[in-house]
Amino acid sequence: MQTTYNANVVADGHRVAIVVSRFNELIGRQLLEGALDAIARHSTGEVDVDVYWVPGTFELPGAVSRIVEAGGHTVVIPLGCLIRGGTDHYDLLATEVAKGLAKVAAQGKVGISFGIVTADTLEDALERAGAKGGNKGYQAAVAAVEMANFYRGIASPSAKRGGKK
């Protein structure tokens, strides 16, 4: 017997934390607008949303970890932007931020996504924050809500199959 699980993308019943990097704030604000739009479009009523601003992208994993530890949120959406420069700084940050967020997400306690734009130029970043490339903030919000619903759905899979194991 095969059982297939698919989570929906309905934000109702969730408390959402959006954590935004102030560094590259122009992009961060557009990502935030996209995430808020996604939450509004994927709910039938009001959803509690808390927005947290942190200094930079490097600070996102720590902030996300603390929000998850504090409890109360079922969805956490980190948003930020890294633009490649002429030094190794970009590569170091991109790697560490991705590893840090992946570590928190792998705990499976709440729906977390990766809303970090990594781009070679400001123009590329702007495209991924609402121009031609869609809005990465919107996409991250949808993914985080879906994962939160996924975790809810697998909390007791045997109950969903009528007690069969």
Q: Which amino acid is at 134?
A: G
The verdict on whether 14 is a catalytic residue reads no
| Residues 20 and 51 sit within 8 Å (Cβ to Cβ) | yes
Q: Which amino acid is at 6?
A: N
Annotated catalytic residue within 14, 42, 73, 89: 89
Catalytic residues: 89
